[in-house]
Structure 1
Amino acid sequence: MKNRDVESEAAGRKSNIETDKQNISFLYLSEEDMIDAGVLNPGRCVDVMEETMGLMEDGDFLMGGPYNDAHGLMLYFPKKSPIENFPVNNARDRRFIAMPAYLGGRFHVAGEKWYGSNGNNRAIGLPRSILMMMLNDVETGKPLAYMSGNLLSSMRTGAMPGLAAKLLARNDSKVLTLVGPGVICRSSLRAIMSQRFDIDTIKIKGSSPTSANAIKMKEYIEENYPQVKNIVLCKDMEEALKDADIITEAVSCKEGEWPEYKREWLKPGALVISTSTFNMEHKSIVDLKKVIDNYGMYENYAEEDNVGYDENGDRLHTGCMGEDFVYMVQDGLIERDSLTTFGEIIRGKKPGRESDDEIILVSIEGMPTEDVAWAYECYTYALVHDIGTKLKVWDHPYAF
């Protein structure tokens, strides 16, 4: 995707979506259209995420919530209801999330990802989550595009571990560990491999060494990355973590069943990236470098969850690395300034890796600014290359 070569042309052609000031149309992009528009380009997605983190450091963005930094607004369904036919959460993960954002810079666009999820979907051959993305002109509110969001969302999620590997991994990294070998770990693999070309060993930790996802991931690596000479299906977390230069996780599990990490299993110089679930004894990570995407978002999580302490007086774990960092600040284990954001590294305000022996923990939870950025990139490419279907809202608004 050579979007930097077509940005000016795309900007000029935005006005072609409407033929006059009152006529409003938008571009519809199916999943096939999104593929044609470059949504699966991992290296370019990493570049766009780096640009996004820089803009967020500049403050040139808005998200939802009272502090403009919320992950999104979620509909939670009850376990039971007295109302006949009311949808209940009789399966894991029935929910809807609205994730709005504005992103400035060259993007200067608003958008929202609408996220529907139900754990029962897999039994009928559907992905657990079905997502759609909308972009709007920030001046008038006019719709610019409506697009399939599953590939967009998974790619931008995986691109953030790719960015972490680009900025924070040792330059001689050769061993990559994938914990939770599902869709997100696959997109993370694609992004990391686009940045770190010397990876020759990949460890896979699924629910078991013979789990369907672990075998599928092994076959995918064999087919797409012939430079990888060793693929190890690990029996436990200790085997998976030991000797790994880069560890990226995207585990889907029940609350409280998060995989446990131990300090002694991490080699000097290891980079540990969490996009989903994390469980490590707080006191063992006090002196490690900690990098996050958005501290305010984790403060929101901590305020909502307000987890307490166990019988020994230790803070309960949340399963979220960044949220644990917030509680560590509240409990006086670390200082707020000890946490580094991607944006601070990108803008040169704080250093990235400072030694080959430094162990670095990275928390990534996903934000709608990332969706807006990658959606805009695919949208502008689609405009220039005549991809997608133009749909009309109206020729002239009906006057009451």
Structure 2
Amino acid sequence: MYTAGGGSMDSKVEFLFLNEEDMIKAGVLDADRAVDTVGEVITLLSEGDYLMGGRAHNDHGVQLIFPEKSDIPNFPLADSADRRFMAMPAYLGGRFHMCGEKWYGSNGNNRSIGLPRSILMMMLNDVETGKPLAYMSGNLLSSMRTGAMPGLAAKLLARDDSKVLTLVGPGVICRSSLRAIMSQRFDIDTIKIKGSSPTSANAIKMKEYIEENYPQVKNIVLCRDMEEALKDADIITEAVSCKEGEWPEYKREWLKPGALVISTSTFNMEHKSIVDLKKVIDNYGMYENYAEEDNVGYDENGNRLHTGCMGEDFVYMVQDGLIERDSLTTFGEIIRGKKPGRESDDEIILVSIEGMPTEDVAWAYECYTYALVHDIGTKLKVWDRPYAF
């Protein structure tokens, strides 16, 4: 409650804590609603009604960079296990009008002790006062908002007669992508899975998950290599976890006419082979930031080195004169009718999705508001009145 002079008469501050079980009750796994929500986010981005970190307002987040070595005893070092901590703040306008931040720590060695690689938490704050509104478990939230974007891509850009879906990197994010895509494309009857091997634990777990949850899928294929996985696929979505430089390679001749290729993490394809393909992105400014930070060079033959990020590669293709900036289409332009989506059944479309904290804010807001209405979670007090004021 605010006085006419702008001061607050209610100094009590509390927030809603939502653990993972609470988040499930609050609908965090509702793939169809998540797809609609990220569609709203993309529209607001296209209208400029958002803020992310950095001076250009498009930073993905701020990461702690661990050193390779240190003379300080027990100092945490960088290693091949993906040790990192990252803060991802954002403001999202429209009906959300909300600030938030996702914070996470990650270490590939976690799996050996029964923990997921990354452990994430999400906070929402009132834009006007800065008061914390909610603090919630973020693993399912993050994976579902990430998977929702491939679902949006399938909704807007896949052929209407799509029947064959390929999953490259069958981990948590691919499972979320599967949920979202299947909520939009009801005629999928064949799913191809490309893991590290046809008998890898993740590939087998994905197959069992599909069998249990999608009885309409009559054919599940565990693929030996990328060529087998990509050929004849109508929709391809990837979320591969791998070391830098070991990104899976795609070849133009493996893609059927009309294929939709969605990349959420790693991608490697010869730049000159994709010049004429339609390219759809979520946020060009974010990829420009990536390119400025990485500043990758060229190999001994004068070819630009790959980055593993499809959208960043597109930026380098613009810089190298292979394509024009206007040839890239954003989701927002498609949703707002500024540019067309799919223009023919034979058109091959590449989609780059990197995930943004604005999406976390939106999906967290949806779960938070549902939890408030349905009395889910635990209210925790910060203070009744601040000690120092």
TM-score tier, shorter chain, comes to over 0.9
Question: How much is the aligned-residue C-alpha RMSD, in angstroms?
Answer: 1.1
The alpha-carbon distance between structure 1 residues 309 and 233, as it changes in their structure 2 partners (threshold 3 A), is same
- Matched residue type, 2:129: T
1:62-77 aligned within 5 A:
62-77=51-66
- Matched residue type, 2:320: D
User: Percent identity among equivalent residues?
Assistant: 87
CA contact (8 A) 1:118 1:129 kept: yes
- Give the alignment partner of residue 136 of structure 2, picking from 147, 164, 179: 147
Give the structure 1 partner of residue 4 of structure 2: none
Q: Distance in 2 between matches of 1:82 and 1:292?
A: 43
Give secondary structure in 1 for the equivalent of 2:90. Answer: strand
Q: How big is the shift at 1:370?
A: 0.2
Q: Distance in 2 between matches of 1:213 and 1:132?
A: 25
Give the structure 2 partner of residue 345 of structure 1: 334
Give the structure 2 partner of residue 8 of structure 1: none
- Matched residue type, 1:147: M
Q: Distance in 1 between matches of 2:388 and 2:323?
A: 60
Q: Distance in 2 between matches of 1:303 and 1:382?
A: 40
C-alpha offsets along residues 336-389 of structure 1, whole Å, 9 cap, x if unaligned?
000000111011111000000000000000000000000000000000000000
Give the structure 2 partner of residue 195 of structure 1: 184
Give the structure 2 partner of residue 166 of structure 1: 155
Give the structure 2 partner of residue 4 of structure 1: none
CA contact (8 A) 2:80 2:243 kept: no
Q: Distance in 1 between matches of 2:94 and 2:9?
A: 26
Give the structure 2 partner of residue 354 of structure 1: 343
Give the structure 1 partner of residue 49 of structure 2: 60
Give the structure 2 partner of residue 44 of structure 1: 33
1:119-158 aligned within 5 A:
119-158=108-147
Give the structure 1 partner of residue 307 of structure 2: 318
Q: Which moved more, 1:84-93 or 1:230-239?
A: 84-93
- Matched residue type, 1:203: K
Give secondary structure in 2 for the equivalent of 1:391. Answer: strand
- Give the alignment partner of residue 10 of structure 2, picking from 17, 21, 37: 21
Give the structure 1 partner of residue 5 of structure 2: none
Q: Distance in 1 between matches of 2:259 and 2:360?
A: 29
State the TM-score, normalized to the length of structure 1.
0.95
Q: Distance in 2 between matches of 1:253 and 1:94?
A: 13
Q: Distance in 2 between matches of 1:57 and 1:300?
A: 17
1:1-400 aligned within 5 A:
21-399=10-388
CA contact (8 A) 1:91 1:120 kept: no
Q: How big is the shift at 1:112?
A: 0.1
- Matched residue type, 1:278: F
Q: How big is the shift at 1:90?
A: 3.4
C-alpha offsets along residues 225-283 of structure 1, whole Å, 9 cap, x if unaligned?
00000000000000000000000000001111111000000000000000010000000
Q: How big is the shift at 1:78?
A: 1.2
Give secondary structure in 2 for the equivalent of 1:47. Answer: helix
Q: Distance in 1 between matches of 2:269 and 2:50?
A: 32
Give secondary structure in 1 for the equivalent of 2:202. Answer: helix
Q: Distance in 2 between matches of 1:319 and 1:94?
A: 19
Q: Distance in 2 between matches of 1:113 and 1:149?
A: 7
Q: Distance in 2 between matches of 1:90 and 1:245?
A: 38
Q: Distance in 2 between matches of 1:309 and 1:342?
A: 30
Any stretches of 5+ residues in structure 1 without a counterpart? 1-11, 13-18
CA contact (8 A) 1:269 1:360 kept: yes
Q: Distance in 2 between matches of 1:208 and 1:193?
A: 24
Give secondary structure in 2 for the equivalent of 1:191. Answer: helix
Q: Which moved more, 1:91-100 or 1:223-232?
A: 91-100
- Matched residue type, 2:52: M
Q: Distance in 2 between matches of 1:90 and 1:45?
A: 34
- Matched residue type, 2:142: S
C-alpha offsets along residues 87-125 of structure 1, whole Å, 9 cap, x if unaligned?
112342110110000000000000000011011111100
Q: How big is the shift at 1:399?
A: 2.9
CA contact (8 A) 1:91 1:118 kept: no
Q: Distance in 2 between matches of 1:50 and 1:399?
A: 43
- Matched residue type, 2:239: A
Q: Distance in 1 between matches of 2:385 and 2:246?
A: 55
Give secondary structure in 2 for the equivalent of 1:145. Answer: strand
